[in-house]
Amino acid sequence: MSKKEAVERINILRRTINRHRYLYHVLDQEEMSEAALDSLKHELAELEAEYPDLVTPDSPTQRVGGEPLDKFSKVEHTVPQWSFNDAFSPEEMRDFDKRIKKVLGSGRVPTYVAELKIDGFKIVLTYDKGLLKTAATRGNGRVGEDVTANVRTVEAIPLKLEKEVSVVVEGEIWLSKDNFDKINQEQKDKGEPLYANPRNVAAGTIRQLDPRVVASRRLDNFVYDLAQADFALPPTQQAELELLAELGFKVNKHHTLCPTIEEVIAFWQKWQNKKDKEPYWLDGIVVKVNEREYQTALGYTGKAPRFAIAFKFPAEQATTVVEDIVLQVGRQGTITPVARLRPTLLAGSTVSRATLHNEDEIKRLDVRIGDTVILQKAGDVIPDIVKVLTEMRTGQEKVFKWPTELEACAPIGTSAKAGGGPIERIPGQAAWRCVNKNSFAQLKRKFYHFVSKTAFDIEKLGPRVIDVLLENKLVVRYDDIFKLKKGDLLVLPRFAEKSADNLIKAIDEKRQVSLARLLVALSIPGVGEETAEDVAKHFGVLTKIEKAGLAELQAITGVGEVVGQAIYDWFREKENQNLVKGLLAEVKVLPVKKEAGAQKLAGLKFVLTGTLPTLSRDEAKMLVKQNGGEVAGSVSAKTDYVLAGEEAGSKLGKAQELGVKVIDEKEFRKMLG
């Protein structure tokens, strides 16, 4: 950025910041979140640091303003620990209400109970005849850590109930704002790093090996769910909360019965403004169908209850500039507009892209190239642009024009002079797609996916080689890969005797594939690694999947209605049937085997880093899964082991920081016996 551009940008930033400061602090009006305003201030400070001679006295910048987890024993939950699906807007909540009523049918009208969603750490408490027996972390939903000794120090949790009943209850361990500040002050006094947020402190505290440390943190607790009992459960969620209080549990008093979804939305809106007045942190509300009879009828998906949802408060926000808008073509031919952004920090990570979803979203936002925008991250996904700061426009912004054709949608073999392929808007939807279903861009992405590590995992067959094979029409369908001969490759650029031999060898080594990997490779809409595993385990062999009825597919845990329909439709298209037939003539699909005693790693979460002596990353990952374990991509307080090899990266440092046990391949093999 030139100095002239910096002067213009600095003036716009100062004007905008001062306006919103006045609205918020003088008129008590908030048109921009504090996080977004802070982002503008941060940008201004960086520019002034780069050009210190532009700093003025009235600039807004001049205002003064654990221990290793493996030492805990494991606890198998008697009640599966579900997580909630999330909603982020009133529209999503109204859709939730419609789904509930559709499933229940006419004549059954649900009411809802809205409760505050405490930003803390989930705990599962088991009582035997009124006495606390165990306290466990959520873990992976099936197996948690026994933290009973530490939980006994939390005075809000009763050691003995008011009645001699046997129950399993669920609640949230939390740290008050005052105690969080005191702990950080102690850290500061000791010259140690400050903690980022109270939830992490609560989670780290409950995992301390010394209960005296836990007691000193003065953790608190709310109980919100009676998961299991040796008596008939109350008929409503409202009655359940009342019973929990009668048993001696600390129940958050801010819950209410809402006859309609609009009253739920009103409760959510009210608590957006009130949340900061409470001694604990809130990140939304939890909404549950009140009637237990209806809860039972609605049931669960593979990962969450259908009768409940977490209605999140607006996510963290930041501001940045849209530098360009580009169109991306997916494997299914759908075209997605993506904003390329000036890199900015949001929710703990640097982002440089934001999805614009579709043409209608671009028009609704009136987003233009060069605009300053507010970003919002809803979970760990690509952020959304939620607002354009039109007041910061200079007149140099460019309106994005939706094209009539894209080069990426052109058929294979089309020259650059011939232009791109036509695109069309999908009838009844806001999305656009390539008219040609076999455009070069789509085929490339499908083939990239087919040979990727989660699918057939064919080494030496990278994107550049795939592109050349497609351009020369040596492959059209997946089975053509396995028909390639050395002579086919030698006529291609960058292929010599040795490289051709290596590729043919790599392909031949993958003529056997697991059923789950095959399902991933086929690019069936909605079928990723986890869903493929669920489907493969359910049916065992491919022929049963091909013949499966719609109802059976949709009933599989972790699949659901939409993906079940997609699988059913995919296997009934003649083109796909021929594709599978051709592929089966070249490769062998291994049936799913249920191995006895293969659960040696059940309930354990692993993270892999570095290069192992004899195992590839995928082989180690497969061994973990085959033995009942789980593989995660990043290290957290919930990680049980980090399996590290040579040249281990930042994950090793993170493990050491959190006290997560680090093992090598030798120790890993010992665990497997």
Q: What is the pTM of this model?
A: 0.45
Looking at residue 150, its amino acid is N
pLDDT at 7 over 90: yes
Residue partners of 508: CB distance under 8 A and separation at least 6: none
Q: What is the mean pLDDT of residues 289-311?
A: 90
Is residue 313 predicted with pLDDT exceeding 90? no
DSSP string, 610-640: SB-SS--HHHHHHHHHHTT-EEESS--TT--
At 414 the pLDDT is: 58
Task: State pLDDT tens for residues 98-142.
Answer: 999 999 998 899 999 999 999 888 999 999 999 999 999 888 778
Q: Which two tokens stand for residue 542?
A: 């491919």
Average pLDDT over residues 388-403: 94
**Helix, strand, coil abundance in the chain, percent, nearest 5:** 40, 25, 35
**Local confidence band at 428 (pLDDT 50, 70, 90 cut-offs):** confident
The pLDDT, as a whole number, for residue 69 is: 42
Q: Taking the mean position of all CA atoms in its chain, how far away is CA 208?
A: 28
Q: Please name the residues in contact with 612: beta carbons below 8 A apart, sequence gap of 6 or more.
A: 620, 643, 645, 664, 665
Q: Take residue 616 and report the two structure tokens written for it.
A: 């590839």
Let me know: does 455 contact 517? Beta carbons within 8 Å.
Answer: yes
- Residues 10-23 pLDDT 10s: 999 999 988 886 67
Q: Quick one: pLDDT band at residue 348, thresholds 50, 70, 90?
A: low
**670 has catalytic annotation:** no
Domains of the chain: 3-62 (1.10.287.610), 74-312 (3.30.470.30), 317-439 (2.40.50.140), 451-510 (1.10.150.20), 513-590 (1.10.150.20), 605-672 (3.40.50.10190)
Give a three-class secondary structure readout of 262-310.
Answer: HHHHHHHHHHHHHHHHCCCCEEEEEEEECEHHHHHHHCECCCCECCEEE
Q: What is the pLDDT of residue 45?
A: 84
Q: Nearest Cα to 84, choosing from 310, 296, 302, 298? A: 310
pLDDT category of residue 346 using cuts at 50, 70 and 90: confident
Give the tokens for residue 361: 């979203």
Residue 307, both tokens: 């009768």
Pairing between strand 368-369 and 308-312?
Answer: unpaired
**Does pLDDT of 65 surpass 50?**
no
pLDDT at position 72 is 77
Query: In the structure, what pLDDT confidence band is assigned to residue 64 with cuts at 50, 70 and 90?
Result: very low
Distance from C-alpha of 512 to C-alpha of 528, rounded to nearest angstrom: 20
241 band by pLDDT with thresholds 50, 70 and 90: very high
CA distances in angstroms from 446 to 285, 366, 434, 435, listed in the order given:
40, 33, 15, 17
Q: pLDDT-derived band of residue 71, with 50, 70 and 90 as boundaries?
A: low
Q: How far is CA 458 from CA 442, 466, 517, 581, in A?
A: 19, 11, 12, 20
Confidence band (pLDDT; 50, 70, 90) for 66? very low
Q: Which of the four pLDDT bands, split at 50, 70 and 90, describes residue 32?
A: confident
245, two tokens: 């209080």
In this predicted model, what pLDDT tens digit does every residue of 489-517 receive, in sequence order? 988 887 888 999 999 999 999 999 999 99
pLDDT band at 29 (very low <50, low <70, confident <90, very high): low
- Measure the CA–CA gap between 16 and 23, rounded to whole angstroms: 11
Q: Does position 661 have pLDDT exceeding 60, yes or no?
A: yes
Instruction: Evaluate whether 423 touches 406 at the Cβ level (below 8 Å).
Output: yes
Q: Model confidence over 557-580: pLDDT tens digits? A: 778 888 899 999 999 999 899 999
pLDDT value at 68 more than 50? no
Is the model's pLDDT at 67 over the cut of 60?
Answer: no
Integer angstrom CA distances of residue 29 from 19, 21, 384: 11, 9, 24
Structure token digits, residue 1:
């950025």
Mean pLDDT in residue range 653-659: 81
Half-sphere exposure of 608 (CA within 13 A, CB side): 18
Model confidence at 25, in pLDDT bands (50, 70, 90)? very low
In a 3-state reduction of DSSP, which class is residue 561? helix
pLDDT reported for residue 28: 45
For 189, the token pair is 């006094």
State how far the Cα of 173 lies from the Cα of 542, in Å rounded to an integer: 46
Among 295, 164, 172, residue whose Cα is nearest residue 233: 295
pLDDT at 292: 95
Q: Quick one: which of 316, 252, 214 has its CA closest to 118?
A: 252
The pLDDT score that the predictor gives to residue 413 is 58
Separation of alpha carbons 150 and 125, rounded Å: 12
- Mean pLDDT lowest among 60-69, 226-235, 429-438: 60-69
The answer, yes or no, to whether residue 198 has pLDDT greater than 70, is yes
> Is pLDDT at 26 greater than 60 in this prediction?
no
What was the pLDDT predicted at 85?
82
Provide the 3-class DSSP secondary structure of residue 256. Answer: strand
pLDDT band of residue 302 (cuts 50, 70, 90) is: low
Q: Which of 3, 4, 101, 117 is catalytic?
A: 117
More confident position, 420 or 459:
459
Top pLDDT among 199 and 81 is at 81
